[in-house]
Structure 1
Amino acid sequence: MAWWKKLFGLADDGGGVDYYDEGLSLLAEGKYHEALTSFRLALKESPGDPVVLQQIAIAYTRIGMTDEAAKTYRHVLQKDPEASGAHYGLAFLLVRSEKPREAIPHLEAFLAAPPSGPEADRHVEHARATLEQLRGEGDGGARSRGPSEPPSSRESASPNEVR
């Protein structure tokens, strides 16, 4: 990944493709299968990278492979139990698959160390509202979207990108 090379002062051969950035661009364009391919190539360059794995899980979710997405998020959490984006993604997959009680600890973990910045604010607020709703503490996220509908990528960046 280009940022990794810059961080450590490694030479860039100029002809290489940054598959991670390519995957992010494709994901933003709605080309989910193509994004998945790019993220898999990025994973080959950086095996086990939790950030790349989270993007793979997002791509799986967008193409309807929710079981694979959940497995990928769980794999990330085994590697990094504090990966807030993985907690967020897994929580909403669990809510959608009608396992809301299993989602609660993941929402709590996400909110215990939420990402910061204007792009993350919608996700943090949505997680709070959903958690309140799951606990029965008010109207929660029922205002504008249901608890299983996180803000879309077109509305703001994924919490996985803000780490």
Structure 2
Amino acid sequence: MSWWKKILAGDGGSIKPQRLDYLNEGLALERHGDFEGAITSYQLALRDEPANVKVLQYIAIALSRTGRQEEAIRHYRRALELQPDLAGAHYGLAFLLRRRGDLERAAEHLRAFLSRPPRDPEMARWVDHARVALAEIDGGESDEVTA
């Protein structure tokens, strides 16, 4: 073993590269308001685990916060391809579609979210928000039909 490796390894053992935790790095950056940095970290996490639905949802949220709605929609849809009953992806996608004016599809995703709402009491406000949004969409669609 070279003297350089002995210095770096300390005990004379081999140097093993550490795998970076890009997901937690992204979450920390997002907490500090660095959404672009968080997106980069999430992209690196996806490179390591392209089917990680948690990372797909986090990147979609960060993309939404930076105004990149279409990219966020793609990431939510990819998460739903991998796990069709993913409540958070249905919720996020519903509100992006609603903002874009696609009320029919937004309502579909709100219904999917509400069909299996999170049971955590801390999530109650999001469940209520989804119910109100769906009622507004359903009310608006029925008004349009009768008009």
- Give the TM-score range, shorter chain: 0.7 to 0.9
Q: 1:119 to 1:29 in 2, by over 3 A?
A: farther
- Residue 134 of structure 2 corresponds to residue 131 of structure 1: yes
- CA deviations 1:78-127 (Å, max 9, x no partner) are 11111111111110001101111220010010111112323322211100
- Residue 88 of structure 2 corresponds to residue 91 of structure 1: no
Q: What amino acid does structure 2 have at the position aligned with 1:66? A: Q
Aligned mate of 2:26, from 23, 32, 52: 23
- CA deviations 1:108-158 (Å, max 9, x no partner) are 101111123233222111001111111119xxxxxxxxxxxxxxxxxxxxx
- Residue 46 of structure 2 corresponds to residue 43 of structure 1: yes
Gaps of 5+ in 2: 1-15, 141-147
Where is the helix percentage greater, Structure 1 or Structure 2?
Answer: 2
Instruction: Give the deviation of 1:45 after TM superposition.
Output: 2.4
Larger-Rg structure: 2
Gaps of 5+ in 1: 1-12, 138-163
Aligned mate of 2:55, from 52, 56, 61: 52
> Identical aligned pairs, as a percentage?
46
- Residue 52 of structure 2 corresponds to residue 71 of structure 1: no
What is the aligned residue count?
A: 125
TM-score (norm 1): 0.70
Match of 1:122 in 2: 125
Q: What amino acid does structure 1 have at the position aligned with 2:138? A: R
Q: What amino acid does structure 1 have at the position aligned with 2:104? A: R
Which is further off, 37-46 or 122-131? 37-46
